[in-house]
Amino acid sequence: TIGRYICLACFSVVLLACQTPSGLQTPADSINKEAIATEAYNQAIQKPSLPQYVAALELLESAMKKAPDSQSLRYKSYDLYYRLVYVGLLEYFWKAKSVYSGFPESIKYEVSPPSLAKLKHLQRQKGVPASQLQAVILDILSEAPLNPAGHIELGRYMFLKRGPGASIPFAHQALRLSPESKSIYADLGFYYSEYVQRQTCTYAHQKEIRKAIKYMQLGLNREKPSPFVNDELSYFYDLVNMRPLQLKAAQSAYETENSERFKRTLATALGDSGKWQDSKKLFEEMTANGADDVNMALLEFSLYFGQWDDAVSYGAEFLKSNPDLSFYDVVSLEFAEYKSGVSNNKSYAELIAGVELGQWDSNLDAFWRGELAADSLLAKAGDVCEESEANFYVGLDLLINGDFNSAKPYLKKTLDLKAYNFIEYGYAKRLLKDL
């Protein structure tokens, strides 16, 4: 028994000798706190909830007191504060701002500033004054003037509020700060694409068309190509008459996602590239699946390739299922009748009745009815698109009335204006070949 007490006493002395002086922590203790806090952070990220975030933040703050120089702990704390602000808990905004201000510039360059989380929250709210949003935008720029993420998000915000034209400068600034970022190229491609397509006349914006193509190409993920980007690229290659690239992009879109949308894009690209039978096959597959509006595309391509009787047949099918016509549909039907000599037994006046016409369409309609002179129609053309259409319809009218020689200059002018993806360009090309 005496031996046992002696051994216990010796053990106690050894244990006391191994302990650290009161108030000091071993490196192992600090590492252990950081590991526990990191595990709590990981769990909060995997199963996000307010209690998880708050519990993880308490552990992270405790660990940071023991390891104040740990950028890893600082980043994890900031990430959770940012998330809380993003979901609307703005009481955490100033803590997020405080942690963010302690980051070195190299980290600030990579991490989204806290005001960006605040902006995203406010964007989801209704009735937020524009002045308040503007103030937050200025905060973002002051917090992180060299952070590309802030400029990227501002570009996206401006797109929603003011359209693509307002987004482009922010995306270019982000690109200057981070020239290797594919996501910024993708954003720029999208903004330029939207900008062009929202214009009344796309062909009046050749510079923007080329930029849309350039940035979409640079932003395209080659390993996982987006069918939507390739679909857009196919359309833009059509605008500038790059037929091999138009077809390649359309094929890539359809191979990535076998859908009716991308099948239509491929069918169009095949037709534009002169592969009529392949194009026709795809379009007819779509009509078999109930896509009645495809008959107009079949009619148009039949006219491009001089298949006059087919054009009339497709036109008749189109009329059966599409009572809502446009001026261009009606004249395409008339064009098919003129070349085939077969009538669908409906006059222009009957077909156009009830069609809603815009200002320019009304001018074309007045000319086609004989109520507006050719010179007056041409004088009313406000851009290259309207000028192209006006020249074609004047030339077609002269052809229908037997004045072939007078028609030629107008048809040639249609081609010279290079509105490549307009039906009038394809029609004029066909008519001049026949003449």
- 236-270: per-residue pLDDT in tens? 999 999 999 999 999 999 999 999 999 999 999 99
CB 254 within 8 A of CB 269: no
Poorest-pLDDT segment among 86-95, 128-137, 209-218: 128-137
Q: Mean pLDDT, the chain, as a whole number?
A: 86
Q: Report residue 219 as tokens.
A: 């932003």
Place 29 in a pLDDT band, splitting at 50, 70 and 90: low
pLDDT reading at 197 higher than 90 = yes
Q: How much is the average pLDDT of 300-318?
A: 90
DSSP 306-328: T-HHHHHHHHHHHHHH-----HH
The percentage of the chain sitting over the pLDDT mark of 70, rounded to a whole number, equals 92
Q: Which of 371, 367, 363, 368 is nearest to 351 (CA)?
A: 368
Q: Report the alpha-carbon distance of residue 362 to residue 353 in Å, rounded.
A: 12
CB 80 within 8 A of CB 50: no
Q: Report the alpha-carbon distance of residue 181 to residue 184 in Å, rounded.
A: 6
Beta carbons within 8 Å of 103's beta carbon, 6+ residues apart:
71, 74, 75, 78, 111
Beta carbons within 8 Å of 258's beta carbon, 6+ residues apart:
none
Cα 61 to its chain centre, rounded Å, is 41
What pLDDT score does 28 carry?
53
What pLDDT score does 365 carry?
93
What pLDDT score does 12 carry?
38
- Helices then strands, counting H and E runs in the chain, come out as 25, 0
Poorest-pLDDT segment among 68-72, 325-329, 340-344, 428-432: 340-344
